[in-house]
Amino acid sequence: MISEKLPIGWTKGPSDQPNDFTFVSPDHDRFLKIGEFVTYEAKMDGKERQILSRIIDRQPLLQFPDSFLADPQIAPDQVAQLIGYDQKDHEQFVLIATIIGYFDEQLDGFINPRIPPREGSPIYIAFDELLAHLLSKKKTTQQGSAYIGSLLSREIDKVPVVLDVASLVSTHLAIIASTGAGKSYLAGVLVEELMSHYNRAAVLIIDPHGEYDTLAEMMNIEHFRTSDYRPEIKIFRAGQVKVKVAALEPGDFYYLLPNLSDRMIYLFGKAYREVSKDSRMNKGEPDRWTRAELELKLDDLGTSEEEDTGKGKSDFASTAQALSWRLDSVLKNSLIFDDQKHLNLNELCRPGQCSVLQLNEVDEREQQVMVATLLRRLLKARTETQKNRVDEGDELYLPYPVFVLIEEAHRFAPASADIVTTGVLKTILSEGRKFGVGVGLISQRPGKLDGDVLSQCNTQFIMRIVNPVDQGRVAESIETVGRDLIRELPALTKGQVIIAGEAINTPVLARVRTRYTRHGGETKDAPVEWLKYLSPIEQEKRDREAALLVSGGKKRDRKYK
Amino acid sequence: MQLGKIVKSNSHIDYICQIYNLNDVPLPPTIEDYAFGSFVKIPINSKQQLVGVVYDTVLFNPDFGRIGPRLSPETDLAIFTPDYLNEKVILIGILTVGMLDTGGIIIQGVPRLSSTTDSIVEKMIDTEIRQFHYGNQTPRLGYISLLLSHSSPLTIHLLQKIVYNLIDLFPDKRNLLSVLKNDLAWKSQIAPLGGAR
């Protein structure tokens, strides 16, 4: 625990960058790691201020000659001793630190003094308590706080990293990491915090891999419960949440129905407009038509268009038939789309409830259209509610902010193309704050994620990234993370994360805390499963099942053929 | 074994010793006794003595350059001018690298005290050399930086010679001393030809 105020080094002078300075320290205790925080004192506005700085580079000043390292069995210290060098702890390091500033309570942020420390002035290690106070915007378990973990350079839990949930969910977040770096685990921690009694958030998780069902354990864990609160975790599997066909926009259909010709698009657009118009006239709302009605309209138009234009009948009629066939093939047996049932936002999103939409059995395009529809609808509901255009009881009445966590975000906002979800995601990222729709994007391939989308996530959680393309995307899209921390990305290990942005006062290297719930996204241990399959117990089980089938007369012929 | 006496010094640590010949002692030292890199001791007082190492040998011959005329042939010179022979001497250069005292205290590096003219120079035996170099469980050559600062083209070879000697004296520390030996070998033999490290 760091609480004693003793100089750890002395200022050497300025560095190459105007905001950096160098200092020299023997660092006997190996304390001054990259990312560690140090302070110096400076008089600002008549007050003695503790200026916080972060170490960004560390180089040894004194090194043994390479020849001293020639024999693996002989330590260089021994060679030095041989030639009469008896000094203990000869090591010295020159360290570069970047100035963060002093914390201004009124402005609730750091103010850079723009004055490096004087040459020869002392540098102190920042106290645990000071860091805990300065780095995080909130205290643990305080209302609106999210305790994510602790500062990596200090002992576990000595300096808790606590994020500001209001900033986190309103100005959006991104969790970026390679496979296996622990991004789903971190997302789990985040959800646990959001669902704690001091937040009681309305969270919706888009889960294309079905990894988040273990969050349901939260309901039975004492930590999350109080006398008046218990988090509700609802797992929606494919087929349990439907999207009404009539809620889809023409663009969604064009995306779902592949290889549409110009004529098909023309005919479909016309049919869509007319069927919506009929619905408004006859049923009061433009989205109360069914797929059958749309197909009927297409048939009608196929015939009438031929009469109107005088072209060959077979052209439009066959186009209409082809469209109907494609609509059937995509929508008829879909787990997602339905004529009547529709996303009930009040059922999906409510404070104190986390809904997990497991889409692992759903085709990728259908996933994208579903998410686009869902996000559009959420934004619309929040906009309408906030502008008092809907009343309690209305389908679109949503009187509280909602946070949507999207796994595999590169599927929904790819860098290479604009797909159905890109537009609505960008709208939410730029305007969602006003209406209380927050988005959290999780991706293992930031290089494949749209740069604009990534750059608008104002709190970033970046874990180990090895791929240079991905590192480059992170560096260019996320300005708040310093280059020094970006350099650390390949060196991070599982559970270590760089947190930067709105929800924290200054970028930090942290270790993620232990989850209360089990991790659902663990990698399968293939050798264990292979051995289990061939174990005598499993073998016997299979033999028994085969024997039952034989006695029942099934598959006998095939087996003994 | 007495080798000779101090006749001159060039500095606080750099002494010239004239090697005894037959006119000085009945059994003068052989060239093996004052070979390049040999360790010698020079008494300062009854308790303390300087430790030095032979870093150079110079043959002094006043006859050199005097090409005539001669009154007697070379073979008769010993009979007619017996003193003349005494002027041909061998001088050795000694760098002092530390001090020993009778209490066993060893100081390596620039000695605090200096010697005087006519001080007797003695060859150190192996036990004394080992004692002088014996540090805390390992050999110790605390005078290396002193030797390296001496601007002689032979310094690096002198060091090599010392290390070779010490490997023989401390066979159980061969691996440790070999690190130094290999480094010096590279510096003296490969680096001058452009070998990089």
- ipTM, 2 dp: 0.78
Indicate which of A83, A86, A87, A88 best probes the interface with B, i.e. most B CBs within 10 Å of its own CB. A83
CB contact under 8 A, B144 and A78: no
Residue A378 near residue A404, CB atoms below 8 Å: yes
pLDDT at A556: 46
Say yes or no for a CB contact (<8 Å) between B135 and A68. no
Minimal-distance CA residue of chain B relative to A74: B176
Q: Is the pLDDT of residue A245 over 50?
A: yes
Distance of alpha carbon A529 from its chain centroid, rounded? 30
Half-sphere exposure of A512 (CA within 13 A, CB side): 28
pLDDT digits (tens, 9 = 90+) for B88-115: 899 999 999 999 988 889 999 999 999 9
pLDDT at A312 over 60: no
Q: Please state the domain extents for chain A.
A: 7-135, 145-241+343-512, 244-338, 527-560
**Closest CA of chain B from A54, distance in Å:** 36
The whole-angstrom distance between residue A540's C-alpha and the CA centroid of its chain comes to 44
How big, in percent rounded to 5, are the helix, strand and coil portions of chain B? 30, 25, 40
B139 and A70: CB-CB below 8 Å? no
Mean of the pLDDT values across residues A124-133?
A: 91
A561 pLDDT above the threshold of 50: no
Interface of chain A toward chain B, CB-CB under 8 angstroms: 65-68, 70-71, 73-74, 78-79, 81-84
Give the count of Cβ contacts less than 8 A between chain A and B. 51
DSSP characters over A313-333: HHHHHHHHHHHHHHHIIIIIT
List the domain boundaries for chain B.
2-193
Alpha helices (H) in A387-524, listed in sequence order: 420-435, 451-455, 468-477, 483-487
CB contact at 8 A, A513 and A158:
no
Confidence of residue A396 (pLDDT cuts 50, 70, 90): confident
Element (H, E) at A373: helix A364-386
What are the Cα distances from residue A39, in Å, to A110, A134, B80, B116?
13, 12, 90, 59
**Residue B95 burial (10 A CB sphere; 0-12, 13-18, 19+):** buried
Alpha-carbon gap: B151 to the closest alpha carbon of chain A (Å): 19
Contact check, Cβ <8 Å, A83/B141: yes
Contact B140 A65 (CB under 8 A): no
Quick check: B160 pLDDT over 90?
A: yes
Nearest to B9 by CA among B114, B152, B142, B147: B114
The answer to whether residue B125 scores a pLDDT higher than 50 is: yes
**A451 backbone dihedrals φ, ψ, rounded to 5°:** -60, -40
Question: Which residues fall within 8 angstroms of residue B154, CB to CB, at 6 or more apart?
Answer: B36, B55, B56
Domain A145-241+343-512 listed as CATH 3.40.50.300? yes
Tokens of residue A232, six digits? 């509700």
CA distances from A9 to A38, A94, A119, A391 (A): 10, 9, 11, 64
Distance CA A420, CA A413 (A): 9
pLDDT at A426 over 60: yes
Quick check: B182 and A67 CB within 8 A?
A: yes
What are the structure tokens assigned to A316, written together?
Answer: 């439009």
The whole-angstrom distance between A155's CA and the closest CA on chain B is: 38
Confidence bin at B178 (pLDDT 50/70/90): very high
Cβ pair A82:B175 closer than 8 A = no
Q: In whole angstroms, give the CA distance from residue A98 to residue A477.
A: 21
Q: Nearest C-alpha of chain A: how many angstroms from B174?
A: 11
Q: Tell me the shortest Cα–Cα distance from B72 to chain A, in angstroms.
A: 56
CA dihedral (A470, A476, A481, A484) positive or negative: positive
Residues of chain A in contact with residue B182, where contact means CB-CB under 8 angstroms, are: 67, 70
Quick one: closest CA in A to B175, which residue?
A: A74
Residue B104: the pLDDT is 83
Strands (E), chain B: 2-9, 14-19, 39-43, 48-60, 89-101, 106-108, 120-123
